[in-house]
C-alpha cells in the first residue's frame, strides 16, 4: 500500500526548553532545537521510524527547505513537495517542567496555481491501493474547502483518506456528501464542529456516532489525559495509557495519526488500531522532535493500553476491560 501525507502549511518547529515559564520575565534557555515540522511531515517521520516509507506532498518555501530535505533523506521519505517562493513559517514551542506553550504563525502565502499543481500531481498518483493523510492548518491563499475537494477527488479514485484538521477546513469536509474514510478530531475540535460542549464521554460518543452513521469508517477522538475513543462498524473502544515520561506534548496528536495510518496499512482490527495509535501517541510524549522511539519499545506499549468496550450509544455501560 502506498502511503501519502499532505502538509499544506508546514513549519520549522523551534523548541526552547526552560526551567519555568513566567510571563513578563527574562528566561535563560537550557536547550534550543529546530526540526522540520507540520502535521503531515510529523506523520511521515513517525511512519519512517516505524518502517513505513511515505510519500510527502505539500507546499514548501525555498528559502529554508534544508531541514525538511535533510529529514526526508534521513527517513527515506519521498519528497514530492511543491517549492514556492519565500520562507516556510517558524513556530515556537516553549517547554518547561509543567507544560508546553505553542506560538504558531499563520504560514507562507501561496498562489492558486501552486495549489492547483499540487492537487493535479497528487490526484495522478493516488489510486485504489493508496492511503492519503490530509493534515494540518492551511496557509494564506489556500481555499478552506481544499480538504473537502481533495477528499472527494481522492475517494473517487478509490483512495482512503484520513483527515486531521480543525475549524472551517474540517467543517467544510464534514459538510460534504461523502466523508473521509478516517477522521481524527480531538475533543475540542469535535465540540467546535457540533456546537455543543462535550464534557462527558457519552457526549463525545454521541457526536462521533453521527459521523459514523454518515459513512466515516474509522473515527479516533483524542481526549488528552483521558485517552482516546475509537469507533468503527465493529464497535466503540475507549483506550487509555498513562505516559511513563512526558518531555513535551508537541506532536503527540500527529503520532496518533501515524499510528492510525500504520494500523490501516496492516489491516488491523479495531482493538489493534486503538492500541497502536495510543502507543504511538504516548511514546511520542517522551521525545522532542518529529520522531518515535524504537519499534520494540512502541510495541511493548501496545500491550499496556487499557481497552474498554463502550457497549451503548450513550456510553452509560462499559464492557469488559482488556
Q: Point out the residues that are catalytic.
A: 254
CA distance 209 to 292: 31
Contact between 233 and 212 (Cβ < 8 Å): yes
> Residues 250-282, buried b or exposed e (16+ Cβ, 10 A)?
bbbbbbbbbbbbbbbbeebebbebbbbbbbbbb
Cell of 142: 489556500
Phi, psi of 183 (to 5 degrees): -125, 140
Neighbours of 231 (CB within 10 A): 24
CA distance 282 to 198: 23
Bridge partners of 100?
95
Bridge partners of 186?
222
CA distance 239 to 129: 29
Contact between 309 and 201 (Cβ < 8 Å): no
Amino acid at each position: 500500500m502506498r502511503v501519502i501525507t499532505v502538509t499544506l502549511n508546514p513549519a520549522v518547529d523551534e523548541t526552547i526548553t526552560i526551567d519555568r515559564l513566567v510571563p513578563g520575565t527574562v528566561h535563560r534557555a537550557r536547550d534550543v532545537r529546530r526540526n522540520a515540522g507540520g502535521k503531515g511531515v510529523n506523520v511521515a517521520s513517525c511512519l519512517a521510524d516505524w518502517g513505513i516509507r511515505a510519500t510527502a506532498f505539500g507546499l514548501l518555501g525555498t528559502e529554508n527547505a534544508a531541514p525538511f530535505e535533510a529529514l526526508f533523506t534521513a527517513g527515506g521519505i519521498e519528497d514530492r513537495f511543491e517549492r514556492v517562493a519565500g520562507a516556510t513559517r517558524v513556530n515556537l514551542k516553549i517547554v518547561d517542567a509543567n507544560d508546553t506553550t505553542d506560538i504558531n504563525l499563520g504560514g507562507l502565502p501561496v498562489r492558486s496555481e501552486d495549489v492547483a499543481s499540487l492537487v493535479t500531481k497528487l490526484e495522478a498518483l493516488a489510486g485504489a491501493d493508496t492511503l492519503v493523510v490530509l493534515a494540518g492548518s492551511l496557509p494564506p491563499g489556500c481555499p478552506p474547502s481544499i480538504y473537502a475537494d481533495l477528499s472527494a477527488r481522492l475517494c473517487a479514485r478509490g483512495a482512503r483518506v484520513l483527515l486531521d484538521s480543525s475549524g472551517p477546513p474540517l467543517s467544510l469536509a464534514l459538510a460534504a456528501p461523502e466523508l473521509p474514510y478516517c477522521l481524527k478530531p480531538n475533543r475540542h475540535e469535535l465540540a467546535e464542529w457540533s456546537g455543543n460542549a462535550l464534557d462527558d464521554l457519552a457526549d463525545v460518543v454521541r457526536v462521533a456516532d453521527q459521523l459514523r452513521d454518515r459513512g466515516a469508517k474509522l473515527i479516533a477522538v483524542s481526549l488528552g489525559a483521558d485517552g482516546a475513543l475509537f469507533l468503527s462498524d465493529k464497535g466503540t473502544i475507549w483506550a487509555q495509557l498513562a505516559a511513563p515520561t512526558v518531555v513535551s506534548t508537541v506532536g503527540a496528536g500527529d503520532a496518533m495519526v501515524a499510528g492510525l495510518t500504520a494500523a490501516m496499512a496492516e489491516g488491523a482490527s479495531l482493538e489493534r488500531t486503538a492500541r497502536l495509535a495510543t502507543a504511538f501517541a504516548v511514546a511520542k510524549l517522551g521525545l522532542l522532535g518529529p520522531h518515535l522511539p524504537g519499534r520494540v519499545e512502541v510495541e511493548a506499549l501496545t500491550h499496556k493500553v487499557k481497552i474498554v468496550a463502550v457497549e451503548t450509544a450513550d456510553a452509560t455501560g462499559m464492557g469488559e476491560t482488556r
